[in-house]
Amino acid sequence: MYFWKSISNEVRTVQSDFNNQSKTKQLIIGALFACIAAIFQAAGGLLPGVGYFISPIATAPILFCSMLSLPIGFASFVLTNLLLLILQPSELIVFPFTTGLLGLGIGAGFYFFKKRVNIILSGAVMLTLGILSLLYVFHFPVLGPASSDSFSIVITVLIFLFAFIYNWIWVNIGLFILKRLKRIIVS
């Protein structure tokens, strides 16, 4: 079955090749990905309308950094938050709990698990927890008027189903692009 297949050893090979690079090169790649993520995320506030279609792409740089190295991915996540504090502070409530957390969750899944379903579930759980904390802890209407401030099991299940499908798409995109970027990153 598709979801129970192991992810190829290609990801592990890229991770070991990346870890053999100098710390300076690793930090530069992490900083570059953080800048790209901050620009994509800031597009939601800087370009009203079309920017909201660009901002979900901010997951990709954090995802790739986390796929290569979890510590560099986390550093890139923190640096992106600091850059957003300067570029677009209004995005600081959304990025750490949705887009950035999604990239970290999937990257951690690639780091710790081999089965595709476990990787997808790790990202889905992280994204669900992020959205739920925005909704019910911070009372930020991330879903708009579709949900209320009171906890709802139906909304939680729907968020998890959305997060599972969204993570499945991002895992496939991440694997596809990692295969294409492999030569650039580890050369």
Classify residue 40 by burial, with Cβ atoms within 10 Å: 0-12, 13-18, 19+.
buried
pLDDT in tens, 119-170: 999 999 999 999 999 988 888 888 777 666 778 898 899 999 999 999 999 9
Q: Are 55 and 43 in contact (CB under 8 A)?
A: yes
Half-sphere exposure of 72 (CA within 13 A, CB side): 25
Nearest to 41 by CA among 3, 110, 96, 120: 96
Q: Which pTM value belongs to this model?
A: 0.89
Q: Per-residue confidence at 181, pLDDT binned at 50, 70, 90?
A: confident
Q: How far apart are CA 130 and CA 128, in angstroms?
A: 5
Q: What is the pLDDT of residue 186?
A: 62
* Structure confidence at residue 47 as a pLDDT band (50, 70, 90): confident
Half-sphere exposure of 69 (CA within 13 A, CB side): 21
Q: What is the DSSP letter of 88?
A: -
Average pLDDT over residues 92-106: 92
Mean pLDDT of 93-121: 91
State pLDDT tens for residues 21-46. Answer: 899 999 999 999 999 999 999 988 88
Q: Where are the alpha helices (DSSP H) in the chain?
A: 10-19, 23-46, 51-54, 59-68, 70-87, 99-112, 116-132, 153-185
Rg of the chain on CA atoms, in Å: 16
With beta carbons less than 8 A apart as the criterion, state whether 31 and 3 touch: no
- Going from the N-terminus, what domains does the chain have, and what CATH number goes with each? 10-185 (1.10.1760)
Cβ–Cβ under 8 Å, residues 76 and 34: yes
Distance in angstroms (rounded) separating the CA atoms of residues 173 and 121? 16
Dist. CA 60–CA 41, nearest whole Å: 11
The residues, any chain, with a CB within 8 Å of residue 21's CB and separated by 6 or more, are: 186
Confidence bin at 18 (pLDDT 50/70/90):
confident
The confidence score (pLDDT) of residue 98 equals 92
Contact call for residues 121 and 164 (beta carbons, < 8 A): yes
Single-letter amino acid, residue 37:
A
pLDDT band at 185 (very low <50, low <70, confident <90, very high): low
User: Do the beta carbons of residue 84 and residue 126 sit within 8 Å?
Assistant: no
